[in-house]
Homo-oligomer: A and B are copies of this chain.
Amino acid sequence: MRLGTIFYHDFELLDAYGPLEMFGALGDKIELITIAQQAGPVSSSAGPKTLADYGFDDAPDLDLILIPGGIGTIAELKNDALLNFLRQRCPHSQVTMSVCTGSALLAKAGLLDGLAATSNKMFFELARSQGDKVDWQESARWVDAGQYVTSSGVSAGTDMALAVIERVFDAELAEQVMNYTEYQWHRQADADPFAQLLNQGVTPS
């Protein structure tokens, strides 16, 4: 099984690496690869850079896809190369996951039409305004719509990842990962402690 994470300039670190920690703990059950429009360095919004193994033109087949969010989402909403890559690849995935504003990209690509989905709570309108045929959930830690699983902001992606591991593999393995990573898994998808912050977007200052 192969999981491809789509990186772009100014992605949010934990959106990508929270889920990748959980999948990475599965060892040889899964191969984690990193993808960007072009292979090579990609800067996070916080500064630290990741290195993309593949570009859009040479990325291998993907069973699972992970799309982080972050301030860079805003520019990518106008990037047809990225939107087209999602349109080509996500429908063939077993599960496509987004974290935070990553669901705005899936919605813009038209891939969430008719499905329930969620996004970062503080900046919810960014996602909602990309797809009026999406059944946007204002209160959800994550939403499992089958092929597409979307999570709320940043840390919620880690909880979603364990839920996807539970569904694709089994609950025992998800619990082993939880213990291995000393992670206090928030296990209820519909319990959202940050729903009250809806559209109250403020950055720490």
- The 8 Å CB contact of A181, one of B23, B155, B186, is B155
A interface residue numbers (CB < 8 A to B):
5, 12-14, 16-18, 20-21, 23-27, 31-34, 41, 44-51, 53, 120-122, 152-156, 173, 176-177, 179-184, 186, 193-194, 197, 202-205
Cβ–Cβ < 8 Å partners of A184 in chain B: 155, 184, 186, 193
- The 8 Å CB contact of A204, one of B44, B49, B177, is B177
Copies in the complex: 2
Q: List 11 A-B contacts (CB under 8 A).
A: A17-B18, A17-B21, A25-B46, A27-B205, A48-B50, A48-B51, A152-B182, A156-B182, A176-B202, A176-B205, A184-B186
In order of increasing CB-CB distance, the 10 nearest A-B pairs are: A24-B46, A14-B21, A17-B17, A153-B182, A176-B204, A49-B51, A155-B183, A154-B181, A32-B47, A182-B194
Contact B25–A204 (Cβ < 8 Å): yes
Of all chain B residues, the one with the shortest Cβ separation from A26 is B204
- The 8 Å CB contact of A13, one of B21, B45, B156, B202, is B21
Contact B48–A32 (Cβ < 8 Å): yes
Cβ–Cβ < 8 Å partners of A46 in chain B: 20-21, 23-25, 32
Q: A14-B181, A34-B48 are in contact. List 16 more A-B contacts (CB 8 A).
A: A12-B21, A13-B20, A20-B46, A21-B46, A24-B44, A24-B45, A25-B46, A25-B203, A34-B49, A48-B51, A153-B181, A155-B182, A155-B184, A176-B203, A179-B197, A182-B194
Cα A34 to Cα B53 in complex, Å, equals: 19
